[in-house]
Structure 1
Amino acid sequence: MVTKRTKKKTSKKTVRKVAGRKAPSQRKFPAWIILLFGILMGLLVAVYGYINGWVPKPDNPNETPVAQTAQTSSNSEVEDQSAELQIKPSNDFDFYESLQDMEVAVDKEALKQTQDRKPVIYNLQLGAFRKLSDAESLKAQVAFVGITAHIQTITDAKGVQWHRVRIGPYENSRKADVAKRKLEDSGFSAILVHE
C-alpha cells in the first residue's frame, strides 16, 4: 500500500493593524468653510432677533451719549452740556413718606387672643408600654446616654394603663430637636409631642 504524502496545511497569517495613527478621514468641506457658515448663521439669528424686537432699543434714539459729545466738542461746550445734563433725578417713590404717616389699625380682640395664648410645651416621647418594668428599662438605657427621662402613667378611654417614657419639657422646638438628634445618634427614636 502506498501512502500519500500530504503537505501540512499552513494557516493564514493574521494581519495585525498597527495601533496608533489612523488614516486621515476624508472631509467633504474644509474647516474654514464650516466656521464661516457658523458665523453667518449667528449673524442671521442676531439680525432676525433685532428685527423682531428681541434686542431692546434705546428710549431716545436722537440723544447722543455724553462721552461721544465730549470728544467732539471743546471744553467750554462740555461744561455747558454737563450743566444741562445734571438733572436731579425725580423721586418717583413716595411710599417712604406715606408709610410714615400711615396708621395701622390693630384689632383688639386679635391682640387679646395672642396675649392670652398659653406657651407651648414640647416633650420627646420615647415609647409607651403596658408594663412598668419595660418603661423603667428604657429609662435606664436613656440615662446611660446622659439624658434624664421620666415615666408618665396614664389610663386611656378603655381603662388600660400605659406608661410613657418622656424627656422634657422644652420651652421651644429648637431645644427639643437638639435632644432628639442626640437620642437618634445614640440609637433611640423619639417623637416630638407639644402640649
Structure 2
Amino acid sequence: MAKSKQTGARRKPQSRSSNTGRAPAWLLVLSGLLPGLFIAYLVHMHHERDGGVTEIASGSSAGDGDTQQTDEGNGRPRFEFYELLSEMEVVVPDESEPEVSAVPPGDDTPVPAPDSETPAAPAPQPEPEPDDDAQYMVQAGSFRSHEDADRLKARLALMGVQADIHSVEVDGGETWHRVRIGPFADRGRVEAIRGRLEDENVDSILLRMRG
C-alpha cells in the first residue's frame, strides 16, 4: 500500500510538466487570427482609397461636363466675348479726311467715296498801295515796369538804334510803358530796322500812323 501511494505521487509532476510544455489554445487561435485581420484591414484600406480617387475623378469629369453643357447650351464659343470686343472697335478717321457715315448692317447701299479734290486756296489779297502821308513806327516791347522798358531802350542804344518810352494808361487805370522806334516815312528803312532787331532776338511790331 505504501508503494502504491508513492507511485501515484511521482506521476503527478510528470503530468504537470507535460501541460506546461504545451501553448494555450487561445494563444494559438489569436496568433492565427491576427495575420488574417491585418491582411483584411490592408485590403479594406486599399479599396477605400481607390474608391475615393474614383469619386474625385468622376466629380471633376462631371464638373467639366457641366461647363461644356453650359457653353453648348448658350450656343456660343467660349471666346466669343473677345470677338465681340473687336467688333465694337471703331476706326477714328483723320481730321484731314471728311467723316463718312456708317452703314447699318444689312444695308447694301454703296457709301459715297470721300472727295479727294483739295479745295482751291483763296487768292492772295493784294497789298495796299503805300500811302505817301503814312508814318511808320516800330514797337520793340511793352512793359508794366518802367525799369524793364528803360533796360530795353539801353540795349537798343548799344545796337545803334534810338528808341523812346511812351507811357500810356489803359482801361482800368493800369499804366504800360512802350518802347518805340521812329516815326519813319520810309518803309524800307523801317524793314531794315526790324531785320536788325530780329537778328538780336528782339520781337517787334509795325505801326502805321497818319499825321
Which interval holds the TM-score relative to the shorter structure? Answer: 0.3 to 0.5
- The structure number with the bigger radius of gyration is 2
Query: Counting helix residues as a fraction of each chain, which structure ranks higher?
Result: 2
